[in-house]
Chains A and B, each alone.
Chain A
């Protein structure tokens, strides 16, 4: 699975996104939601990076930032060696062709007055890649690729099942043959029965078209199955980053350990000694100084309350942001 020979497709450096919290009528922003704070990582071509964390920790914001659907506060995102925040108009359009987004709830991303054929064919039309009967053929092919009948192109989205809607959304996202796809919780809105189908489709598409994924999810089991690398986020910060199997063998951050502990065991009679995380995620508005996980961390020392731990390489390819020499070992399967 290691593909060190391949070049970096996406490089994120010190990315920060603050959302102002406005106060009063003419209020200047007095405080900020630190949605993404000083996050750096890179994804090599053909890899799948799984981004996990609780809801509200900034996963989705990162997904939008690396596609430039949101403007950054500071930092940079490089795609194929170019900073996506300083592209000219032509480069921007090219970038939109090469990087795509799969929505959590595909249905809400559709224009409901358009039929399936229009929805899937729109990217091709916008980039002038096909028109007329060629467009119809391409749309039919795309629908077949995602396992739908081409006849569906005349249906309207509200007549489809939730699994079909998600597949139509994916057909739209892959219509331009993107190299890089951000999948933002693509299966969380689906029934368990269709989840496997969509996940298999994602995996097949990747193998077939050599796509690179940023897979955002709160379900670490799904990420394990699909991702080559996992990045764990907590309150806007990356706390641990490693190859998937490495992470499941040993963890150096207490939060990652807690996340894995929260995964239910398949056998109801087998009880694992679980460490339940106490307390709640603190507000991301003007977060606590020091390590953001420190108020809930049972291993926290004084230093954690004063300094922000930097992301350091504990062992080759395994990055951790923690002052405590924590070792969580044991395989979760």
Chain B
């Protein structure tokens, strides 16, 4: 090996790292070369998020203000009597524009779901990692706590929490979080158990790496793919849970709206006004489908063995 070839190697800042870090937006999109569906899913998600974020600028009508003469209009491309943007998704029982309500409702649904799953994911994963890695009585106590919390019917506990704390968006998030962290803890723990006794961990211990270094540097990156899958699936679950709570009157309070609350409110008109439940339902379904497709791509991308070279 000549000296020149060593010189060639010098510019590498940290060997190999750069392979995981796409530099620039072009390289990021180049990663989708083998999975175009995931790219489509990501774009749809972007659009849904963008619409939700920019709802105040995009929505043609005030989502809370109804026009009683325009009640329960089916979807139409014609302008309403008073002028303005056509009610392309129809109007509800109070004459409010469904399209505008979907835009604003998405904000609430997505905020609640992401906040709940985010807190649950971090909290549950850390507990699961500790429980799985240390084992023994730490594991025993943490897992019994998980068992006890899981053994209560989730909806009942959430209702009790909201009843005590009072219905509001913040309290809804607290109630759903209390119910939702266990699956992440269980998942992380079971994944850690498969690695705890592995030669990889032994090798990391042999070179003197600290316990946090092993857990967060080697174990977590190797088990993150199934955890991300659960994260994405749980997003859907929490959007549904928020809808349930809102439907029962313990979640989002009118005049605020969420996709779940819209389905709940539209339920009694389902025979005569199909658009009230259909469009929010499509939004939930589309969001979940795209999250799943995107989650799948992330899982593949995180795993160098399944990545196509």
- A: residues with CB less than 8 A from B are 64, 67, 69, 92-93, 96-97, 100-101, 103, 105, 108-118, 121-123, 126-127, 132-133, 135-137, 139-140, 144, 149-151, 153-154, 156, 158, 172, 175-176
A175 to B206 alpha-carbon distance, docked (Å): 12
Query: Is B16 a contact of A109 with CB atoms below 8 Å?
Result: no
A-side contacts of B136, CB under 8 Å: none
A69/B205 in contact, CB under 8 A: yes
B156 located at the interface, meaning its Cβ lies under 8 Å from any Cβ of chain A in the complex: no
Report how far A176 CA is from B221 CA in the complex, Å: 25
Most chain A CB neighbours (cut-off 10 Å) among B5, B207, B304: B207
Interface residue range, chain B: 20 to 34
Contact A108 B205 (CB under 8 A): no
- Of the candidates B1, B16, B20, which one forms a contact with A154 in the assembled complex, judged by CB atoms under 8 Å apart? B16
Interchain CB contact under 8 A, B10 and A136 = yes
Q: Which of B198, B205, B222 contacts A113 (CB 8 A)?
A: B222
**Given contacts A144-B1, A172-B207, are A109 and B13 in contact (CB under 8 A)?**
no
Give the CA-CA distance A133 to B11 in the complex, in Å.
7
Could you say which residues of chain A place their CB within 8 Å of the CB of B304?
A: 112-113, 156, 158
Given A115, A126, A144, A151, which contacts B16 in the complex, CB threshold below 8 Å?
Answer: A115
- Please, which residues of chain A bring their CB within 8 A of the CB of B213? 126
Residue among B6, B20, B205 making CB contact with A137, cutoff 8 Å:
B6
Is B62 an interface residue when CB atoms closer than 8 A count as contact? no
Question: A151 near B9 (CB under 8 angstroms)?
Answer: yes
CA distance A137 to B36 in the complex (A): 40
Whole-angstrom CA separation of A109 from B200 in the bound complex: 4
CB distance B199 to A105 under 8 Å? Answer: yes
Task: Give the nearest-CB partner of B15 in chain A.
Answer: A117
Which chain A residues border B6 with CB–CB below 8 Å? 137, 140, 150
B19 at the interface (CB under 8 A from A): yes
Q: Which of A115, A132, A139 has the most CB of B within 10 A?
A: A115
The chain B residue sitting closest to A101, CB to CB, is: B206
B82 interface residue (CB < 8 Å to A): no
CA distance A112 to B221 in the complex (A): 10
Tell whether, in the assembled complex, residue A118 and residue B9 are in contact, meaning their CB atoms are under 8 Å apart.
no
- Residues from chain A with a CB closer than 8 A to the CB of B153 are none
Write out the residue numbers on chain A whose beta carbons fall within 8 Å of the beta carbon of B222.
111-113
Q: Mark B10-27, 1 if CB is under 8 A from A, else 0.
A: 101111110110000000
Name the residue on A nearest B224 (C-beta).
A113
Question: Which residue in B1, B203, B204, B305 is a CB contact (below 8 Å) of A112?
Answer: B305
- Residues on the B chain within 8 Å of A172, using CB: 203, 207
In the complex, are the beta carbons of B1 and A69 less than 8 A apart?
no
Q: Contact check: which of A64, A100, A136 meets B207 at CB < 8 Å?
A: A100
Residues of A within 8 A of B303 (CB): 113
Q: Nearest Cβ in chain A — how far from B129, in angstroms?
A: 16
Find chain B residues with CB under 8 A from A113 CB: 20, 221-222, 302-304
CB–CB A133/B10 < 8 A: yes
Using A101-B203, A136-B9 as known contacts, say yes or no to A126 and B208 having CB atoms under 8 A apart. Answer: yes
Give the contacts of B1-49 with A (CB-CB under 8 A): 1, 5-6, 9-10, 12-17, 19-20
> Are the C-beta atoms of A149 and B1 separated by less than 8 Å?
yes
Tell whether, in the assembled complex, residue B15 and residue A154 are in contact, meaning their CB atoms are under 8 Å apart: yes
**Could you name 9 residue pairs across A and B whose Cβ atoms are closer than 8 Å?**
A92-B208, A96-B208, A111-B200, A111-B222, A113-B303, A116-B15, A137-B6, A150-B6, A154-B12
The closest CB in chain B to the CB of A169 belongs to: B203
- Chain A residues in 8 Å Cβ range of B122: none
Among the interface residues A116, A127, A136, which one has the most CB atoms of the partner chain B within 10 A?
A: A136
Contacts of B198 in A (CB 8 A): 108
Closest residue on chain B to residue A154 by CB atoms: B16
Measured in the bound complex, the distance between the Cα atoms of B145 and A33 in whole Å is 32
A22 to B206, CA, bound (A): 28
Any chain A CB within 8 A of the CB of B202? yes
**Min CB–CB distance B148 → chain A (angstroms):** 18
Contacts of A132 in B (CB 8 A): 13
B141 within 8 A of A: no
Q: How far is the CB of A261 from chain B (nearest CB, A)?
A: 33
Question: A109 touching B199 by the CB < 8 A rule?
Answer: yes
Q: Which B residues are CB-close (under 8 A) to A105? A: 199
A315–chain B nearest beta-carbon distance, Å: 37
Residue pair A96, B199 in contact (C-beta under 8 Å): no
Excluding A69-B206, A121-B15, 16 further A-B contacts by CB distance (< 8 Å) are: A93-B208, A100-B207, A108-B198, A110-B200, A111-B200, A117-B15, A117-B16, A118-B14, A118-B16, A122-B204, A135-B15, A150-B1, A150-B5, A153-B15, A153-B16, A176-B207
A97 CA to B204 CA in the complex, in Å?
A: 12
Measured CA separation A93–B205 after assembly (Å):
10
Please indicate the chain A residues that have their CB under 8 angstroms from the CB of B170 in the complex.
none
List chain B residues, Cβ under 8 A from A140. 6, 9
A100 to B305, CA, bound (A): 28
